Amino acid sequence: MTNNTSVDHSTAFDASASFAASPAPDKARKRWGRKSKQSGDSAGKQPRPQIRRPGPRGFRGWGQGAPAYVETPPEWRGTTVQVCGLWPFGAGSGTPGVGVPLGRSLAGGATVCCDPISWFTRANLLLNPSEFVLGKPGLGKSTIVRRQALGLAGYGVNPVVFGDLKPDYVDLIEALDGQVITLGRGRGYLNVLDPGEVTEAAARLPLKARQALLAEAHGRRLNAVASLVTVLRGQPPTDREESILNAALTVLHDRHDGVPVMADLVRLLRDAPDPVRAVALDRGDLARYRDITEGLEASLVGLLGGGRLGELFAHPTTEAMHHDRPVCFDVSSIDDSEGQLQAAALLACWSYGFGAISVAQALADAGLEPQRHYFVILDELWRVLRAGRGLVDRVDALTRLNRQRGVGMAMITHTMSDLLALPAEEDRMKAKGFVERAGMVICGGLPAAEMPQLTEVVSMTESEQQIITDWSTPPSWDSEMGTDSAPPGRGKFMVKVGGRPGIPVQVELTPSELRINDTNRKWTT
């Protein structure tokens, strides 16, 4: 047996030695080399053997070891110090290694790092530091954004959440030793006429920068009041009414000592100062002025506590926002049945929060404070857009921060249908522009009906669309536990940047993160 094994081994791996020992039979010569000609061959001359070599997948044939397909090898990521001894088996990663680690790629197991600020500033993969996150409820949209916020906080970027309705981010901001501002009926108030730190900051700035900051603060107050009127009416104020508001806010700023409230604005409108009457075009007739401003006055009175929006915007701001810490505006006490109040609260938080960021950046540009970067999270975008016609323009005006200002942004909603279900065609096109202008789009599980609308703004292959659709499959019933098992798409996302191939990733949370990521706490406690 030993000799036979030796011969077989030499035949398979040392064919030249086997031919040298004895002439090979015809069958062997057909297999290993060409058969010699019957005539013309010199006596004793042996045919040259051809050594059998494996193909790219091994030796072909039964039991020879050639695989039908090549499995994707597992990948691990490490620094050059850690993996230098693995040369030459180390290779460059196929997934970006810059940014906040999210989890492992579903295509190969490599670590995926991704956040809009790092990909804009360090990796140069994005044209602007923003992202749009889409996905069905319960699949982890807030979870992936929380992971990015936590990682960016480690990089020195302050995460700020302008309106947390569930709440999804309160525990995270508290864990980061940030500021949580609670708003709601009887819990806290937000005065949209409050300039915040603008007055104090403007006094520290040079003349030109001071004028720019004050003008921007005036524009934000005007936009905030007009937005609240739009939510209350369901349609935007007229051009004349907006001109009246603009003049009234200017006069109020010049005449009022301290921080005015909404009642002061209503009182000034009733007093009919000359600059306001001039833009109202009352032609010198006070009665005509009363008729022109009656509708606007009625809407502003509705913001004083007697209307659907309650007293949330009628009193001085309960707690001022700090621009040097992580911040979360907690509006979770507002019930889902009060859709208009939720939308108004989100708009007011966005206006107030972006105003505070503008102050911080103006002071940094003047060299009076260090440069700070912010990761702004705008969740439940669809609630605001559906609150009234024309609010898309308001949101667009609030969120158009220049990328040179050091602000990254994450906008979150459920589906493209949320953006395209608006009644006005111009609003639908502008809402679609939010996705088109985003630096990256992150998609969780979505139904197949969403794919035609999504692919209009995000280039996707059929296989990528199928993966996202499969993730939207509902969970199966676990007969042993008597409950639904986890949805197949929970924590799975497709990262898309322009026309580049998508990166499928499974978000993985650490034990510490799991303690602050329970968004169903009221169901589990």
Q: What is the 3-state secondary structure (H, E, C) of 216-231?
A: HHHHHHHHHHHHHHHH
pLDDT value of residue 427: 81
Question: How far apart are the C-alpha atoms of 449 and 436, rounded to whole Å?
Answer: 19
176-190, 251-265, 425-439, range with the lowest pLDDT: 425-439
Residue 97 vs residues 150, 154, 439: alpha-carbon distances, Å: 17, 16, 18
pLDDT value of residue 47: 72
**Which residues make Cβ contacts (< 8 Å) with residue 95, sequence separation at least 6?**
105, 108, 110, 111, 112, 113, 503
Beta strands 483-484 and 477-478 are antiparallel
**Which residues make Cβ contacts (< 8 Å) with residue 432, sequence separation at least 6?**
416, 419, 420, 456, 457
Question: Is 9 part of any domain?
Answer: yes
Question: Is 146 part of any domain?
Answer: no
pLDDT digits (tens, 9 = 90+) for 254-301: 998 889 999 999 999 999 999 999 999 999 999 999 999 999 999 999
pLDDT digits (tens, 9 = 90+) for 189-236: 999 999 888 989 999 999 999 999 999 999 989 989 998 998 888 888
- Contacts from 12-16 at CB under 8 Å and sequence distance 24+? 12/52, 15/49, 15/51, 15/52, 16/49, 16/51
Question: Is 4 part of any domain?
Answer: yes
Question: Is 394 part of any domain?
Answer: no
Q: Is the pLDDT of residue 343 over 90?
A: no
Q: Which of 10-14, 164-168, 216-220, 243-247 has the highest mean predicted lDDT (pLDDT)?
A: 243-247
Question: How far apart are the C-alpha atoms of 422 and 419, rounded to whole Å?
Answer: 7
Beta strands 407-412 and 440-443 are unpaired
Question: How far apart are the C-alpha atoms of 321 and 175, rounded to whole Å?
Answer: 18
Question: Is 419 part of any domain?
Answer: no
* Domain enclosing residue 13, as ranges: 1-35+47-57
pLDDT value of residue 8: 39
What's the mean pLDDT in 470-484? 73
Question: Is 345 part of any domain?
Answer: no
- What pTM, to 2 d.p., does this model score? 0.79
The encoded tokens of residue 176 equal 């980061």
> How close are the terminal C-alpha atoms of the chain, in Å?
71
For residue 488, say if its preceding peptide bond is cis, omega within 30 degrees of 0: no
pLDDT digits (tens, 9 = 90+) for 41-87: 555 567 777 777 888 778 887 777 787 777 766 666 677 777 777 65
Total structural domains in the chain?
1
Question: Is 29 part of any domain?
Answer: yes
DSSP string over 246-274: HHHHHHHHHH-SS---HHHHHHHHHH--H
pLDDT digits (tens, 9 = 90+) for 30-50: 444 444 444 445 555 677 777
DSSP conformation class of 336:
T
**Which residues make Cβ contacts (< 8 Å) with residue 358, sequence separation at least 6?**
213, 216, 217, 220, 405
Question: Is 31 part of any domain?
Answer: yes
Question: How far apart are the C-alpha atoms of 190 and 504, rounded to whole Å?
Answer: 41
CB 321 within 8 A of CB 327: yes
